[in-house]
A and B are shown apart, each in its own frame.
Chain A
Amino acid sequence: MTSPTIERIQNNPKFIAMVHTKRVFSWSLSIIMLAIYCAFILIIGFKKELFGTPLGPDTVITWGIPVGVGVILSAFVLTGIYVRRANTEFDQLTREVVEEAQQ
C-alpha cells in the first residue's frame, strides 16, 4: 500500500466517521458482555440465594437456570448483532473508502 493511498484513506471524513462509530459500537458491546458476566459472578459470589429461589410455588426450576441460559444466549445474540452490522454497514463503508482512495 502506497503512502498517498494511506493519506487519502486517513483524511477521508467517511473513514474517520466509520472508525469512530465502529470503535464506540464494538467497545460498548464488549462492555455489555463483561458487565453481564461480572454481574452474574458477583450475584453468585455475594447473594447466591437469589439464584436458588424457585420461579414459582409449583415449580422446582430456580431463577438461576433461565438467567444462566440467558447469559449464554446473550453472548450469541450480541455476537450476531455485531457481525450483522459489521458485515453490511461497516464493510460497505470500507469498500467505498478504499475505492475512493484508489481512484
Chain B
Amino acid sequence: MKRLSIFLMSLLSSLPVWAADAIGGAVEKRSLNVSAIVMFFIFVGATLYITYWAAKRTRSAKDFYAAGGGITGFQNGLAIAGDYMSAASFLGISALVYGSGYDGLIYSIGFLVGWPVITFLVAERLRNLGKYTFADVASYRLQQGPVRSFSAVGTLVTVALYLIAQMVGAGKLIQLLFGMDYSSAVILVGILMVMYVMFGGMLATTWVQIIKAVLLLSGASFMAFMVLKISGFSIETMFSKAIEVHPKGTAIMSPGGLVSNPIDAISLGIGLMFGTAGLPHILMRFFTVADAKEARKSVFFATGFIGYFYILTFIIGFGAIMLVLNQPQYTDAKGLIGGNNMAAIHLANAVGGDLFLGFISAVAFATILAVVSGLTLSGASAVSHDLYASVWRHGRSSEAQEIRVSKIATVFLGIVAILLGIAFEKQNIAYMVGLAFSIAASANFPVLFMSMFWKGLTTRGAVLGGVIGLVSAVTLIVLGPTVWVDVLKNKEAIFAYKNPALFSMTAAFFFTWLFSVLDNSESANKERAAFLPQFIRSMTGVGAEGATSKH
C-alpha cells in the first residue's frame, strides 16, 4: 500500500510520471528472456534494413530533416501517435489503472485533449510556414540570430531532459524485461538510435516510429480483446470481477485521490496541452507531410489512435486486476513481481503465454528506441539548421555541410545521452519529463504561438518573454514539491503546486506582450509590417515548402 501511495504521489507530481516510476526505484534483474530477445532482434533487423533503404533515398537536406515532405497524413498520424505512446505511457497508465482504477482514465484524458486544440489552431499554420524546425516558424519575420538561438536552446533543453528520462527508463526496463545489464542496455539504445538518425534521417526515424506504433496498437488490441473474451464480452463482468479481487473494492470505479487539488490539475492539463504543442520532436513531424491538408489529417488520425490506445490501456489495467492480481505466479510478498509497472507485461503472459510475453517485451523496447530517435533528430536539427546554418553561417553554408554538421551533432547527442543515462541511473529523475513539458509549454509554445497569431510580436518581446518562461518554469519546479521536497529532502515546498505551467506560461505570454509593445525600434516596426505576408502564407500556403518526394 505504501508503495502504491508513493507511486500515486509521484504520478501526480509530474507528467508521464509513470515513466518516472519505471525509472525510479531499484529493479531486480530478470533471468534472460529468450523469446523476447529473438523478437527484439527481428525488430532491430527490420528497422536497420529500413534505415539502409532510407539512407539511399536521403540526399538533400529536405530528405534528411523532413523525409522529403512525402509522408502521408495517415502515416504521419501513426508516427505522431507513436511519439506519444511511449513505453512509459503504455506500462505506466496500465499500472495506474491496475493500482487505482478510474484515476488512470483521468490521467490519460489529460494527455489527449491537447491534440484537438493543436489541430484547430496550429497544425496548418505550422505546415505552411515551417521548413525543418519550429524555429523556422518562430523566426519567420523576426531577427534570425536571437530568435533561432533562443529556440535552439529551448529545443536542446527540452530534448535533453526528455532524453535522460527515456534513457534511464530504457535501462531499467530492459534490465527488467530482458535480464540485460543496465549500462549495456543504455549503450545499445544509444548506438541504435544514432544509426537510425545518422544514416536514415527523418525517413528512417518516421518508419521506425510507424512500425512500432502498429506493433504496439496490435499487441494492446489483442490483450484487450483477450480480457474481454475472458469476461464473456461483458464489461459488466469485467468490472465486477475486478471489484471483487481489488483491495480497494468499489473505489476503483470512481475518482480517487488523483485530482485532490483542481488548480494543480488544471495546471497539469495546461502543461500537457500546450507542452505537446511546444515539443520540438512532435512539431517537426508537421514538416514531413506535403501540405496543410495532410497536416490536419495527421492530427486527426493521431488523435484517433491515441484515444483508442488509452481506452485499450484502461481495459488492460482492469484485465490485470482480474487476471494478475493475487495470482501466485506473478506476485510475491511485496506485490507484483517487478513492481506495478509490470502489470501489462504480466497480463501479456496471462493471456498469450510466453511467446506473447516476448512480443510485448520486444515492443516495449522498440517503443523506447523509436521515441529516442525522434528526440535525437530534433536536437540535431536545432544544432545544424538553426545554430550552424542560420546563426553562425548566416545561411551561407551548403546543404552538404549542413547535413554533415547534423550527423556530427547526432553522434555527439548519442554519446551525451549514453553518458547522462549512466550518470543518472541511481538519481530520482521523476521530475524531468514534467520539467520538459513545462519548459515546452512556457518557453517554446508562447513564442511560437505569438509569432503566428499576434502582429505586434517583436524580436525583443519574443526572446525576453521566452527566457522568462523558461527560467520561471525551471525555478517553480525546483521550488515545488517534486524537487524541493522529493529530491532535495526539504520539509515544505516554497511553491505549493507540482505543475507550474499555469503560472510560468502566463508569465511568458504577459512579458512577451509587454516587451513587444514597449519596443519602438525601427526593426520592431518592420517586423510588425511583415506580419501580413506571413499571415497570408500561413492561411493559404502560397510560397510554402512543397513535397519533393513520395515514399
Contacts and interface: CB of A to CB of B under 8 A. Distances in A.
A54 to B, nearest CB: 8
A72 B311 contact: yes
B239 A45 contact: no
B229 to A, nearest CB: 19
A88 B119 CA distance: 15
A75 B532 CA distance: 32
A76 B303 contact: yes
Interface string B184-200: 00000000000000000
Given A75-B112, A91-B293, A41 B269 contact: yes
B281 interface: no
B327 interface: no
Contacts of B253: 52, 54, 60-62, 64-65
A68 B532 contact: no
Interface in B224-238: 235-236
A94 B109 contact: no
A21 to B, nearest CB: 12
Interface string A32-65: 0110111011101110110110100001111011
B276 to A, nearest CB: 13
A10 B108 CA distance: 42
Contacts of B540: 9, 15, 94, 97-98
A71 B113 contact: yes
A1 B537 contact: yes
A28 to B, nearest CB: 9
A22 B110 CA distance: 26
B124 interface: yes
B119 A83 contact: yes
Given A40-B109, A72-B307, A83 B300 contact: yes
Interface residues of A, number: 53
Interface in B95-152: 102, 105-106, 108-110, 112-113, 115-117, 119-121, 124
Contact of A45 (B108, B236, B259, B541): B259
Contacts, number: 153
A51 B255 contact: yes
Dominant secondary structure at the A interface: helix
Contacts of A19: 539
B398 interface: no
B232 to A, nearest CB: 15
Contacts of A79: 115-116, 119, 299-300, 303-304
A54 B255 CA distance: 13
Interface string A7-19: 0011000010001
B233 to A, nearest CB: 15
A80 B300 contact: yes
B523 interface: no
Contacts of A103: none
A75 B542 contact: no
B115 A75 contact: yes
B120 A61 contact: no
B247 interface: no
B159 interface: no
Contacts of B536: 1, 6, 9-10
Interface string A71-103: 111011011101100110001001001100000
A83 B253 CA distance: 35
A64 B293 contact: no
Nearest to A71: B109
B432 interface: no
B303 A68 contact: no
A83 B261 CA distance: 35
Contacts of B463: none
A29 B243 contact: no
Given A82-B120, A94-B539, A87 B296 contact: yes
A79 B303 CA distance: 8
Contacts of A80: 300
Contacts of A86: 124, 293, 296
B539 A26 contact: no
A10 B533 CA distance: 9
Interface in B210-260: 235-236, 239-240, 243, 250, 253-255, 258-260
B511 interface: no
A59 B236 contact: yes
A47 to B, nearest CB: 10
B410 to A, nearest CB: 33
Query: Which of the listed residues B119, B269, B300 has the most CB atoms from chain A within 10 Å of its own CB?
Result: B119
A32 to B, nearest CB: 9
B36 interface: no
A1 B533 contact: yes
Contact of A6 (B258, B299, B533): B533
22 contacts: A1-B537, A6-B536, A9-B540, A15-B539, A30-B116, A30-B121, A34-B117, A37-B269, A41-B266, A45-B261, A46-B262, A69-B105, A69-B311, A72-B307, A72-B310, A75-B113, A76-B304, A86-B296, A94-B539, A94-B541, A97-B540, A98-B542
Given A1-B542, A6-B536, 14 more contacts: A1-B536, A29-B116, A29-B120, A33-B120, A60-B239, A60-B240, A60-B250, A60-B253, A62-B102, A72-B307, A72-B311, A79-B303, A86-B124, A97-B540
